[in-house]
Structure 1
């Protein structure tokens, strides 16, 4: 799934269909006239999708296209951001602390959810934390406008048309009020960012109020997430996997999420846990992942890793959930040696970078930890001044240079702010 997303769920990643619209070329802006014509065509298809003509008209008559969602279609951070940057912002001290607080606050319903679906609380809360920062950042784009635009222009129109009709059926059924249906540019919504068609199939009313409410009910959202993972093959009581240590000079005969071997095979190959301990007991199937290549960290992953992967088909995303869940269980943060000389920064460190740039006179607005174009441009300017590669990354190298030579950042501004959008 995706929110925020800035990402599409597994179904979107796998779906490559496109239904071209006359007058709206792939990747181009859709004109108001072409958009209106497209909606007329879609209205005629409503009955075949169990959407009445009156409902379709009531919710689409005032829509206008949003061309910005077309630009976002090919910019999913799970696939365009270095994994060390992606993980450093998602699995940081703030999110671990907030996740542990959520485990305490929602202990009783999470225990009931685990009894029903077999998914442990730490994993469910980790998804919540990565998807919407524990419900704080659910996306503000009106779903109908985004999905109607994506149904009428760009790639994957067949997929988005299905999601548009699913959204209209949700409104027709009355589970969620129209003003609450806001979310990511791609249509994911709610505290754990379900696509509308996934909502229809998977969402549950766990709090018993008669509505499946993933927006206003944390309990419904958490239970629905556990239901999704259970339906995706989650194995009760099993781990997602572990960071692994490879023998010196080792060249694995197989690698990749789909290329599994038994744990016994990996033991015979000399693999151990990153801590140096032996691999877990048993002989379940495991795959070896090296997401940054042979010079980076390695992970042995089990069936539950694939269940998380089905939520959003990205190795970076799945590792963020997995590593955050381990931290929420009380495991120490593993020392992962990524193949970079400029490691990523936490959200607090990104806010510090922004505040120090503000103190230098750059007009960034708020130090909120969200690295947008203005922040990247300011970083590039400072990198050029300091003889650094001008890549615009908010990494450790520019942070350390700013600490050495810029005025001290305001501690209030550095510590404040909501943080970067997860996902």
Structure 2
């Protein structure tokens, strides 16, 4: 069994190597050294980055191989706001309360939100990643699929080292180049990281103050609005017109209220909230919970562009403050389909006349629009959710 496992792993690595561009790593490295010099990087910085640098084939495989099964959003949120994480978050707040209060005072970002971001990004600083960021980014740049991104990050690394913001040996993080307690990529570090503790440079690895201040600065840059809500669970009226719903459309809370939406907790909206623009988020289809997402929710998505992440942060923050969990039940009998099933769904939808504009295994806006058109034509709530039920309906129609 061990020999089979090793052989399988070797096969994956060789396949990853075959997908890399037909250029030796040494050739890419030599060319990149020239471009670093042309950008003015000092010789000692270039030497520190390039000395003994080799590709890491594990990085290519991780980049190229996405998990086959899509984790249901309810499992992600349950893990994000688990009792253990809430307990750890409260302990972190007790230890670093003065710093959190000072960061909130300066940037206007709620301390519970900052704690939740900190918890999801690095388990409150405990899990920051131990990959060599330069080696990881160099591997991605050589492989080619994300070359522009990876090389931009490497140029930023050179600037970081030249300015004395970090030593070469300190640059540890994730396989994709995210670093520190806030998991910033190098360009984000240069643009957003702050020296909150005043010790000379932004240290998002060892300084909780710098890490939290940097996260708050990023959220403020992404449009955080002090004192405004983040997300509120709502109940849809019976007979809600999903066909008229546009997932990107923003309306004042009062207008959603006129359409029959109410707070899931039965409470009343504040007078100020009624005039705030929101968009309706229905992440698991018509049978699952619905939410009004405010500008601060979109600021969280500027940190990580995933609805699950923004909801996870939001509900961990609520839990830290003793707030409620999500009230409405999730459609556990209608989970999201896998990537290969999504590809099959896209092919079937397109063959039936509902063009998904590509087959990539990702249920993006074009695929969701095609799903909604199919659902509307076949008596289903047109929510665009790529779940088990619509998959079975489409495949049955395609086979029939």
Shorter-chain TM-score bucket reads 0.7 to 0.9
Q: Distance in 2 between matches of 1:91 and 1:268?
A: 32
Judging changes above 3 Å, is the alpha-carbon distance between structure 1 residues 32 and 268 closer, same or farther for their aligned structure 2 residues? closer
- Superposed CA deviations along residues 141-161 of structure 1, whole A, max 9, x for unmatched, are 110110000011141201110
Contact between 1:32 and 1:64, CA under 8 Å: does it hold in 2?
no
Where 1:73 maps in the other structure, the secondary structure is helix
Alignment of 1:186 with 2:176, yes or no, is yes
1:12-161, aligned counterparts within 5 Å?
28=18, 30=20, 34-74=24-64, 80-161=70-151
1:36-67 deviation line (CA, Å, top 9, x unaligned): 11010101111344422331122212111111
Q: Which residue of 2 aligns with 1:284?
A: 276
Q: Which runs of 5+ in 1 are unaligned?
A: 1-23, 345-423
Q: CA RMSD in A?
A: 2.6
- Change in CA separation of 1:269 and 1:75 when aligned onto 2, cut-off 3 Å: farther
Q: Cα distance 1:74–1:314, how it changes in 2: closer, same or farther (>3 A)?
A: farther
Unaligned runs of 5+ in 2: 1-13, 337-400
Greater relative contact order structure (CA < 8 Å, 6+ sep): 1
1:298 pairs with one of 268, 290, 294: 290
Which structure has more helix as a fraction of its residues?
A: 2
* Matched-pair contact (CA < 8 Å) for 1:256–1:289: no
Q: 1:117 offset after TM fit, Å?
A: 0.7
SS in 2 for 1:42: helix
TM-score by length of 1: 0.71
Residue matched to 1:409:
none
1:202 aligns with 2:192: yes
Deviations 1:254-313 (A, max 9, x none): 545531111111111111111122344331101000111122111100000010000011
- In structure 2, the residue matched to 1:272 is 262
Structure-2 separation of matches of 1:200 and 1:273:
41
Match of 1:329 in 2: 321
**Aligned counterparts of 2:91 and 2:232: Cα–Cα separation in 1:** 24
Alignment-derived partner of residue 8 in structure 1: none
2:235 to 229, 245, 250: 245
The corresponding residue for 1:369 is: none
TM-score normalised by the chain length of structure 2: 0.75
SS in 2 for 1:174: coil
